[in-house]
Amino acid sequence: MPLKLRVLGLRPRQRKLFEKLIQRDHHFGGVSLIATGQMGSGKTTLLQKLAWGIWNIYPEEVIIWRGMFSCQWTNFLELKMPVRLIYIGPEPIAVNPYTGDPVFLAELAELKPCSDINEVLGALGPDRVNVVYLWAPDPVSFTKSWLDLFEALVSRPHGWVSIFFDELEDLAPSSSVGELWAQVERAARIIKEFRKRLISFYAASQVYSDVDYRVFRKFQWQAYLRGARVPRGSRLWQKAVDALKTGWLWLVGGGEYTTYPFAPVPLGPPVLITNYK
Ligand SMILES: Nc1ncnc2c1ncn2[C@@H]1O[C@H](COP(=O)(O)OP(=O)(O)OP(=O)(O)O)[C@@H](O)[C@H]1O
Ligand SMILES: [Mg+2]
């Protein structure tokens, strides 16, 4: 892999970061990372940059990107990564957030309406970035439907898969009670299986404490970006994170504590999907 990273034109420090975060080794299995940092610190950018690295180095890998209200997946188009928009639910309604003008999604992505998780699995492929929207009327069904997809992935044989889940607190909020609490317990159980099943999981959230601890502690790597809060008891100093500038992070995991730079990505067309969370 180091050779291929050189082809991507990454500077040596960034290459080291990528070597750790997107290594693919059957003995080790899937990689997991959670990035935290204040608004605008570059969490989404970091996830997109990692997806770009995977796309260029492992052409057989299936990349799943959580679709959200604010469609930062349009940045993939600027990175020359075609998008497949897979959804269960109503046809996504897209507008330009500045003008309110309608945006025609079929001009930006291949659209794949699905009626259940099985169809979603059938629609996934390595030829495009798979942006998945699962419509849900409330937080419990949101978490449930994503976990159904995760569970289906875990239980079926497949090659390498990477899941990118921005704003992880939507899936596993720390303040859950009742049925949602039980679903978060299920999330922790399923995510634990990812590594052995060659599924890599890259997530982000503004503050670590917004994500349920049962899920947070399943991540092998933590990336702290500008303005991140460091959990109590961590060997990383809060002051060290407070000194970060945009475009830098502290990577913590496996006994390692190192700062790395990461590069911005080009911005795609501004689009909002108004009928999905
Ligand atoms: N490495 C970087 N170098 C320079 N600028 C960057 C870098 N990463 C991100 N930016 C810029 O910072 C802005 C915010 O980035 P991004 O949306 O990734 O942040 P975020 O942490 O996901 O924010 P939010 O919490 O609002 O979702 C963008 O305009 C982006 O271009
Ligand atoms: Mg973001």
Q: Which residues pair with 23 in a beta bridge?
A: none
Ligand nearest to C-alpha 14:
1
Token pair of 114, please?
Answer: 């699905």
Token pair of 46, please?
Answer: 């970091």
48-73 per-position pLDDT tens digit: 999 999 999 999 999 999 999 998 99
Domain definitions of the chain by residue range? 2-77+136-264
Phi, psi of 114 (to 5 degrees): -130, 155
Which residues have CB atoms below 5 A from the ion given as ligand 2?
43-44
Q: Please tell me the predicted confidence (pLDDT) of residue 10.
A: 84
Mean pLDDT over 222-236 rounds to 94
Ligand 1: lining residues by beta carbon, under 6 Å: 37, 39-45, 206, 246-247, 262-264
Q: Please tell me the predicted confidence (pLDDT) of residue 212.
A: 97
158 pLDDT band, cuts 50/70/90, is confident
Of ligand 1's atoms, which has the minimum distance to the CA of residue 206?
25
Mean pLDDT over 11-39 rounds to 93
Among 13, 38, 45, residue to substitute to test ligand 1 (most atoms within 8 Å of Cβ) = 45
Question: Which CATH architecture does the domain made up of 2-77+136-264 adopt?
Answer: 3-Layer(aba) Sandwich (3.40)
Mean pLDDT over 103-126 rounds to 97
Q: Take atom 26 of ligand 1 and give the residue whose Cα is closest.
A: 39
